[in-house]
Amino acid sequence: MKLTSSSFANATTIPRRFTCDGQDLSPPLGWTGAPAGTRSFVLLCDDPDAPAGVWHHWAAYGIAADRAGLAEGAAQCAGNQGLKQATNDFRPQGYGGPCPPHRHSPHRYHFRLLALSIEHLPVGNDPPCQGVEREARKHLLAEALLVGVYAR
């Protein structure tokens, strides 16, 4: 399985409009090669370079198995696209773009796509990103990674 973005290549800089310094839009993402038996997808974004440990920026789940991507800004209109979103570490539900501390070395942002063997994750209402990932991993068929970089 492969995860890509039309806005940045793997291990390159994430454009400002997808960060807290810009419009804080979720980036366009596309994928190919989902394994047979995929019933849904989960998209995660986290920062393993955050000073206090991994910072969870986004978990979108309930993504239909027949989807092959999400358009730019999909997180801002998730309900219209049939997506559910977890509470990120900034505290609201949805996408919180890269926002590393000023004058830090560049942080890596891991966008991960998980292909699942179930259609609906049993996570209840308003789960945190970590809860979505923990439950998704119980039903994991495949995982793809796209890394973006950002510094302020």
Q: Which of 28, 10, 27, 9 is nearest to 18 (CA)?
A: 27
Q: Is 1:143 a contact under the CB 8 Å cutoff?
A: yes
135 sits in the region (left: phi over 0; alpha: psi -120 to 50; else beta) called alpha
Mind listing the pLDDT tens digit for each residue in 10-49?
Answer: 999 999 999 999 999 999 999 999 999 999 999 999 999 9
pTM comes to 0.96
Give the pLDDT score at 52. 92
Could you give the C-alpha distances from 53 to 38, 44, 48, 67, in angstroms and in order? 31, 16, 6, 32
Structure tokens of 112? 């991960």
Domains of the chain (ranges plus CATH)? 2-150 (3.90.280.10)
Look at the alpha carbons of 74, 13, 32, 94 in this order and tell me if their dihedral is positive or negative. Answer: negative
Percent of the chain with pLDDT over 90: 95
